[in-house]
Amino acid sequence: MRRGITPLLWTLFSTGGTLAAFLFPVHLFLTGVAFPLGWLEPPSYEFALGLLRHPLTRLYFLVLIALPLFHWAHRFRYTLYDGLKIKHLTLLIVVFTYGAALAGSLAAAYTLFWCVP
Amino acid sequence: MTETVTLEVTRYRPEQEAEPTTQTYEVPFRKDWVVLDALNYVKDRLDGTLSYRWSCRMGVCGSCGMMVNGEPKLTCAAFLTDSLPGPIRVEPLQFFPIIRDLVVDLTDFLKKLKRVKPWLVREKEKPLAEGEYRQTPEELDLYQQFSMCINCMLCYAACPVYGLEPSFIGPAAIALAQRYNLDSRDQAAPERMEILAEHGGIWECTFVGECTKVCPKNVDPAGAIQQYKLASATDWFKSLLLPRGAR
Amino acid sequence: MSGPVRYTLHHPKWYRRPVSVWWWLESWRYAKFVLRELTSLAVAWFALLALWKVRAIATGPEAYAAFLTRLQSPFWVGVNAVALVFVLYHTVTWLNLAPKAMVVRVGGERVPDRVIQGMNYLLWAAVSAAALWVLERG
């Protein structure tokens, strides 16, 4: 009954896209615009570290980084197929997109679960 | 006061030219005329050699689909007033091979439609003595929207994926598969799921959504496809996590 | 002609119009679709930005301070402002299209798209407010 892993990739794309849709605007607004421009105070190091030490926060960030990366990988793969008509380079594109997403996810997991003091 | 409108119509006569050309016609402007009326005027009065398809002239047969100013439309539903001052470009339906003038070949669609088994499939037919299949209004509501498809193929002409990927089975075929999947009398949903999960099936779709926008009968094929993706993904996880006996 | 006749679909006289690689520029609707798809780049960008921030926090207070200072440069503010516009476009298109995939039926009738979209936007506002509250406590 299993037909390749496309349904899995689409599910990753969907969940990543939903997470990004709900959470990225507020996070990007704060980190990229409000804090740098001084509209709001960024969290102090102590507070940020305290938050990050909590296992739930670490899980939150893992999911927040990994799933949207797979969302990008799946979507960008098809954008390259249809936008640049390079479907014949499919192997290269698949390796590049999902490979990059995997690398990012692994880097996030490593940082969050091995590097937080 | 507009007296006439200019039509720029694609001509293609394979016996005398290698590529399509454009021919211009001046037709009278009437505010209740549609593009089909203008084409019929051309055929009757100006140029009897023009070839095109049409039938019911009221939006139920699906024969007269063409590109009007670059958009797929039923020419029997495209009012001249909407395209004033003109000129109005009339071209054959996009992404299909042109046989002659405005006539395109539909074999690709018909083959793909047949693949999804667009008819009621039952493991065993009910014997006549048991009476008819009964269906409540709620059961009808589940699939009725998808049953409105008139096979006009405007959705295929709007879908860039169909244009770029020749194996893509296309919006109408998937919507019609869903029409039967959701029909309480049908029993072939798993079979159709297998067919549509293959290469060229639902996973080629990137939800551009143009198919739904151009559909003259509000079938919403894009919705059908996204629902199918969700169902197929759910099915995939179920087959992964649950042993065969439990399903 | 010897052997059985095989009919193929390829009829040499039929004219097949080539699809240009610039197909998406032919109409505003196609162009909007491609812009929507390109929002995935902004999504990937913020995922990397979040990873960068988490690495900075894990490294130490100097790294965190350097990260915050770096983002204050006009270049990065510009990049992030543009990314924010794209991320918002992703959110709006995503929340608007979600009802298509999920058919919710209540009492035998399908819940109208507008209701689901409305609930999506409320949820978005609630979640954003919650995140804002958590981050502003420090």
Element (H, E) at A41: none
Q: Distance between CA atoms of B203 and B113, rounded to whole angstroms?
A: 17
Task: Of B161, B159, B153, B167, give the one whose Cα is nearest residue B115.
Answer: B167
Predicted confidence (pLDDT) at residue A32 exceeds the cutoff of 90: yes
Sign for the CA dihedral angle at B232, B237, B238, B239 comes to: positive
Nearest chain C residue to A100 by CA: give it: C44
A56 band by pLDDT with thresholds 50, 70 and 90? very high
Residues 6+ positions from A78 with CB-CB distance below 8 Å: B206, C37
pLDDT value at position A77? 95
Q: Distance between CA atoms of A40 and A30, rounded to whole angstroms?
A: 8
pLDDT value at position A1? 42
Confirm whether C13 is domain-assigned: no
The mean pLDDT value for B14-20 works out to: 92
Question: Any idea what the CATH number is for the domain that residue A80 is in?
Answer: 1.20.1300.10
Contact: A6, B161; criterion CB under 8 Å:
no
User: CB-CB: which of C21, C83, C94 is closest to A32?
Assistant: C83
B247 band by pLDDT with thresholds 50, 70 and 90? very low
Nearest chain B residue to C20 by CA: give it: B164
- B209 — alpha (psi -120 to 50), left (phi > 0) or beta? left
pLDDT value at position B183? 96
Predicted confidence (pLDDT) at residue B76 exceeds the cutoff of 50: yes
Predicted confidence (pLDDT) at residue A60 exceeds the cutoff of 60: yes
User: CB-CB: which of C21, C24, C84 is closest to A33?
Assistant: C84
Residues 6+ positions from A40 with CB-CB distance below 8 Å: A30, A34, C136
Question: Any idea what the CATH number is for the domain that residue C59 is in?
Answer: 1.20.1300.10
Compute, in degrees rounded to 10, the torsion defined by CA atoms B222, C38, A66, A90: 80
Which tens digits make up the pLDDT trace of B162-193?
999 989 999 999 999 999 999 999 999 999 99
Nearest chain B residue to C109 by CA: give it: B138
Q: Distance between CA atoms of A53 and C50, rounded to whole angstroms?
A: 16
Confirm whether C22 is domain-assigned: no
Q: Distance between CA atoms of B104 and C81, rounded to whole angstroms?
A: 48
Contact: B240, A81; criterion CB under 8 Å:
no
- Domains of chain B by residue range: 4-104, 107-246
Q: Where are the beta strands (DSSP E) in chain B?
A: 4-11, 21-28, 65-68, 71-74, 88-91, 98-100, 103-104
Give the ipTM of the model, two decimals please: 0.93
Least confident of B28-32, B90-94, C2-6, C119-123: C2-6
Element (H, E) at C43: helix C28-59
pLDDT value at position A89? 86
Fold of B4-104: Ubiquitin-like (UB roll) (3.10.20)
Hey, what amino acid is at B86?
G
Q: Where are the beta strands (DSSP E) in chain C?
A: 105-106, 109-110
Predicted confidence (pLDDT) at residue A64 exceeds the cutoff of 80: yes
Domain span holding position A42? 6-114
Contact: A81, B164; criterion CB under 8 Å:
yes
Confirm whether A74 is domain-assigned: yes
Q: In a 3-state reduction of DSSP, which class is residue C57?
A: helix
pLDDT value at position B2? 64
For chain C positions 62-121, those within 8 Å of chain A (CB to CB) are: 64-65, 68, 71-72, 76-77, 79-81, 83-84, 87-88, 90-91, 94-95, 98
Which tens digits make up the pLDDT trace of B130-170?
999 999 999 999 999 999 999 999 999 999 999 999 899 99
pLDDT value at position B1? 55
User: CB-CB: which of A2, A78, A87 is closest to B206?
Assistant: A78
The mean pLDDT value for B73-99 works out to: 95
pLDDT value at position C98? 86
Q: Distance between CA atoms of C47 and A102, rounded to whole angstroms?
A: 12
Hey, what amino acid is at A11?
T
Contacts of A81 in chain B (CB under 8 A): 164-165
Q: Distance between CA atoms of B160 and C24, rounded to whole angstroms?
A: 8
Domain span holding position C61? 40-136
Is the separation of the CB atoms in A24 and C43 below 8 Å? Answer: yes
- State whether CATH 2.60.40.10 applies to domain B107-246: no
Tell me if chain C has a CB within 8 Å of the CB of B140.
no
pLDDT value at position B241? 85
Q: In a 3-state reduction of DSSP, which class is residue B20?
A: coil
Neighbors of chain B by Cβ distance (3+ pairs < 8 Å) = A, C
Its pTM stands at 0.91
pLDDT value at position B245? 54
Task: Of B39, B15, B9, give the one whose Cα is nearest residue B27.
Answer: B39
Residues 6+ positions from A17 with CB-CB distance below 8 Å: A68, A71, A75, C43, C90, C94
The mean pLDDT value for B14-36 works out to: 94
pLDDT value at position A3? 63
Confirm whether C12 is domain-assigned: no
Is the separation of the CB atoms in A75 and C40 below 8 Å? Answer: yes
Nearest chain A residue to B161 by CA: give it: A82
CA of C119 to nearest chain A CA: how many angstroms apart? 12
Contact: B207, C97; criterion CB under 8 Å:
yes
Residues 6+ positions from B64 with CB-CB distance below 8 Å: B36, B52, B53, B54, B55, B57, B74, B75, B76
Element (H, E) at A36: none
% residues pLDDT > 70 (chain B): 97
Is the separation of the CB atoms in B38 and B80 below 8 Å? Answer: yes
3-state secondary structure B132-189: CCCCCHHHHHHHHHHHHCCCCCHHHHHCHHHHHCCCCCCHHHHHHHHHHHCCCCCCCH
Q: Distance between CA atoms of B105 and B165, rounded to whole angstroms?
A: 17
In tens digits, what is the pLDDT along chain C, a chain of 138 residues? 556 666 666 667 899 999 988 999 989 999 999 999 999 999 999 999 999 999 999 999 999 999 999 999 999 999 999 999 999 999 999 999 988 888 888 877 788 888 999 999 999 999 999 999 988 776
What is the count of structural domains for chain C? 1
pLDDT value at position C105? 82
Q: Distance between CA atoms of A29 and C60, rounded to whole angstroms?
A: 24
Nearest chain C residue to B233 by CA: give it: C101
pLDDT value at position C111? 87
CA of A35 to nearest chain B CA: how many angstroms apart? 36
Least confident of A1-5, A11-15, A26-30: A1-5
Residue B117, judged by CB atoms within 10 A of its CB (0-12, 13-18, 19+), counts as middle
